[in-house]
Amino acid sequence: MTALTLLLAALATARLTRLVTRDRITQAPREWTLSRLPDGHLLAYLLMCDWCVSVYVGAATATAWWAWGDHRAFVAAAAALAFSHTTGWLAAREESS
């Protein structure tokens, strides 16, 4: 388990968190879940809060990193998510310039 793999896992956590909380591709299941909860329900907050979701995603990613961090499949998946997150972050800064 190298520092580079840990960095990839951290960026993968950021990408997966955004996927759960904000991305359009997961909008339908997110809205479906939220529509079944009463207004102001704590679970609705926990599903929309980046900080909250990152704890759960981070725990799952850290567990996977610990178990398979040196495995090529884990590194490839984490790298793809890390590259996606980095590209999205950079693209957002280009648009605002």
Q: What is the pTM of this model?
A: 0.86
- Tokens representing residue 64 in the block: 């996977």
Are the C-beta atoms of residues 9 and 60 closer than 8 Å to each other?
no
Per-residue pLDDT band for 79 (boundaries 50, 70, 90) equals very high
3-state secondary structure of 22: coil
pLDDT, position 30: 93
Question: How many separate domains does the chain show?
Answer: 1
Query: What mean pLDDT do residues 61-73 have?
Result: 92
DSSP assignments along 23-77, one per residue: -GGGHHHHHHHHHTS-TT-HHHHHHH-HHHHHHHHHHHHHHHHHHHTTSHHHHHH
Print the domain residue range for 11. Answer: 3-96
Per-residue pLDDT band for 8 (boundaries 50, 70, 90) equals very high
Query: What mean pLDDT do residues 35-56 have?
Result: 93
